[in-house]
């Protein structure tokens, strides 16, 4: 099992460009998450999905959109990238949304917006 | 909103010294989780504590959950270079979703 996979690993964008970060999990998990990690800020939740077909905003959703394409895949889209979106993006999955469930993280995408 | 506060933000220790990071909440937590992130890596789940006063050990790591379930600690005995990384605690918010602390970054001096 690959666990949680993310593509791409690295990306450089110019301000205003758009891109989609891909995430897939093969653990048959119901819930999936997108976080961003900035120095000194910990992990901040952007969006999450409780199950296929549902998505909800997290702590910092502005400037992002998501799609839960199916049970395995959860993508994050930046429509018009801004330098403030320079960050490391992690996708995670879990059995369910309950705080009792551990989260499994992907390797991350390191995004730089110039 | 609900937060879990971690201290310290950074810690430098000599190899072989002990290390402790603390996680505090203003409200009672139903459970708390701990994760480790190696430099350049991704967070990896270490453990979950559920019971008041619970203590769990993993080799040189000791995890405690406070009696009031408002705080938790991770203690590493005799640190090694493999312990380098950032340690996060995570607790539930009012909607029972996980909120991560900002983490404690551990540096080991050889």
Burial of B62 (0-12, 13-18, 19+ CB in 10 A): middle
Which of A41, A98, A102 lies at the smallest CB-CB distance from B96? A98
pLDDT in tens, B47-90: 999 999 999 999 999 999 999 999 999 999 999 999 999 999 99
A104 touches chain B (CB under 8 A): yes
Contacts of A103 in chain B (CB under 8 A): 43, 45, 98
pLDDT in tens, B21-32: 999 999 999 999
Adjacent-strand bridge partners of A92: A33, A105
Question: A39 to chain B, minimum CA–CA distance in Å?
Answer: 9
A40 touches chain B (CB under 8 A): yes
Q: How far apart are the first and last CA of chain B?
A: 40
Question: Running DSSP on this structure, what letter comes out for residue A84?
Answer: G
* Confidence band for B5, pLDDT divided at 50, 70 and 90: very high
pLDDT higher at B35 or B98: B35
pLDDT in tens, A39-93: 878 899 999 999 999 999 999 999 999 999 899 999 999 999 999 999 999 999 9
Q: What does the pLDDT read at residue B97?
A: 85
Q: What does the pLDDT read at residue B96?
A: 84
Inform me whether the pLDDT recorded for B95 exceeds 90. Answer: no
pLDDT in tens, A58-67: 999 999 999 9
Local structure of A85: helix, strand or coil: helix
Give me the percent of chain A exceeding a pLDDT of 70.
100
Which of B31, B99, B103 lies at the smallest CB-CB distance from A100? B31
Inform me whether the pLDDT recorded for B2 exceeds 70. Answer: no
Asked if residues A74 and A85 have their Cβ atoms less than 8 Å apart, the reply is no
Contacts of A45 in chain B (CB under 8 A): 97, 99
Question: CA–CA separation, A8 vs A102, rounded Å?
Answer: 24
* Confidence band for B1, pLDDT divided at 50, 70 and 90: low
Length of chain A equals 114
Burial of B75 (0-12, 13-18, 19+ CB in 10 A): middle
* Confidence band for B94, pLDDT divided at 50, 70 and 90: confident
* Confidence band for B110, pLDDT divided at 50, 70 and 90: confident
């Amino acid at each position: 099992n690959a666990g949680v996979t993310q593509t791409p690993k690295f990306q450089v964008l110019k301000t205003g460009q758009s891109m989609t970060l891909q995430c897939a999990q093969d653990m048959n998990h119901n819930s999936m998450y997108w976080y961003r990690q900035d120095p000194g800020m910990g992990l901040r939740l952007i969006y999450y999905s409780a199950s296929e077909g549902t998505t909800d905003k997290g702590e910092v959703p502005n400037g992002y959109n998501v799609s839960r394409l199916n049970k395995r895949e959860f993508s994050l889209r930046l429509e018009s990238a801004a330098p403030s979106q320079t960050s490391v993006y992690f996708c995670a999955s879990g059995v369910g949304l309950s705080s009792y469930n551990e989260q499994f993280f992907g390797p991350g995408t390191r995004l730089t917006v110039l | 909103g609900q937060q879990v506060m971690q201290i310290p933000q950074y810690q430098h220790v000599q190899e072989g010294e002990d290390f402790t990071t603390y996680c505090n909440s203003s409200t009672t937590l139903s459970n708390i989780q701990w994760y480790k992130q190696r430099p350049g890596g991704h967070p990896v789940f270490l453990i979950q504590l559920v019971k008041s006063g619970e203590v769990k050990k993993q080799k040189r790591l000791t995890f405690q959950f406070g009696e009031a379930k408002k705080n938790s600690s991770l203690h590493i005995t005799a640190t090694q270079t493999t312990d380098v990384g950032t340690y996060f605690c995570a607790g539930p918010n009012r909607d029972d979703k996980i909120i991560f602390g900002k983490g404690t970054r551990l540096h080991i001096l050889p």
